[in-house]
């Protein structure tokens, strides 16, 4: 896909990986709808940064875990830009619960995580599909995690939600072919605000780096580069690309 003149939605686009994706797309001439649910100031700031790069950008509030709001997000973005070519499903949530503490996991934890991570990914893809099929076809990239590949992460429900996204990526790739390609990126530890709010962030980062053959962890820009590569790679669909510094191959 040639990116110049295209239009995208990035969910959770105000911070972290989402912010990096917005700016990388903008640098390549893509107009972007920066979705947010709570981070209004950050989303507005990122949209302003994107516009300074010479594209159109809007910040759009929507809870992607609600079908009506996901559809409204797609409608607003399509009207703003007159087209929609790219959807990056980046919005995600978690709860930090020790895997061994099964009794601490409640029904509300499963509902909270799956509504945004899994249902939100699905309803955004469903809402965007008709627009993505126009103008020569489009691309969806879902943000997964090594939690869905290796079963390690902040909680069992979170790991399960990311595994579900991996499976959904393949099934959506079949369902939306040949007009829309669907892929996923599964990062390891990413140095973002999400982890900065944890008291043990530095210790976790050091452990993640030590477990990587490359001895470093992802920055948001590392993940964003792969997202953009998948958007532009016309013969890749239904794939989950792990970006973890080689953690999964360590001996």
Residues taking part in catalysis: 158
Q: How far is CA 119 from CA 104, 126, 130, in A?
A: 23, 10, 18
Smallest Cα–Cα separation from 121: which of 145, 99, 102, 98?
A: 145
Chain center to CA of 240? 12
In the 8-state DSSP scheme, what is residue 103? G
> CA–CA separation, 50 vs 53, rounded Å?
5
CA distances from 1 to 138, 162, 232 (A): 8, 27, 5
DSSP label at residue 119: I
Assign residue 247 a region (left: φ > 0; alpha: ψ between -120 and 50; beta: otherwise). alpha
Backbone dihedral angles phi then psi of residue 192, each to the nearest 5 degrees? -130, 175
User: What are φ and ψ of residue 190, in 5° steps?
Assistant: -120, 130
Name the residue among 68, 6, 22, 62 with its Cα closest to residue 39: 62
Note every long-range contact of 50-53, with CB atoms under 8 Å and residues 24 or more positions apart, other chains counting: 50/22, 50/23, 50/25, 50/26, 51/26, 53/23, 53/26, 53/27
């Amino acid at each position: 896909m040639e990116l110049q003149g295209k239009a995208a939605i990035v969910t959770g686009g105000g911070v972290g990986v989402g912010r990096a994706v917005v700016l990388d797309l903008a640098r390549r001439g893509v107009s972007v709808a920066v979705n947010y649910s709570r981070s209004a100031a950050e989303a507005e700031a990122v949209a302003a940064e994107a516009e300074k790069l010479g594209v159109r950008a809007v910040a759009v509030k929507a809870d992607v875990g609600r079908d009506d709001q996901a559809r409204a997000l797609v409608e607003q973005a399509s009207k703003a830009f007159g087209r929609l070519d790219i959807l990056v499903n980046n919005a995600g949530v978690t709860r930090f619960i020790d895997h061994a503490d099964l009794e601490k996991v409640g029904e509300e934890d499963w509902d909270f995580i799956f509504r945004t991570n899994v249902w939100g990914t699905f309803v955004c893809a469903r809402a965007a599909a008709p627009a993505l099929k126009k103008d020569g076809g489009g691309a969806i990239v879902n943000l997964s995690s090594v939690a869905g590949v290796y079963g390690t992460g902040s909680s069992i429900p979170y790991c399960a939600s990311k595994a579900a996204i991996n499976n959904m990526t393949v099934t959506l790739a079949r369902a939306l072919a040949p007009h829309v390609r669907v892929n996923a990126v599964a990062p390891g530890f990413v140095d973002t605000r999400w982890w900065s709010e944890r008291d043990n962030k530095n210790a976790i980062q050091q452990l993640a780096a030590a477990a990587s053959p490359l001895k470093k962890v992802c920055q948001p820009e590392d993940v964003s580069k792969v997202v953009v590569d998948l958007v532009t790679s016309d013969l890749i669909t239904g794939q989950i690309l792990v970006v973890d510094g080689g953690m999964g191959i360590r001996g």
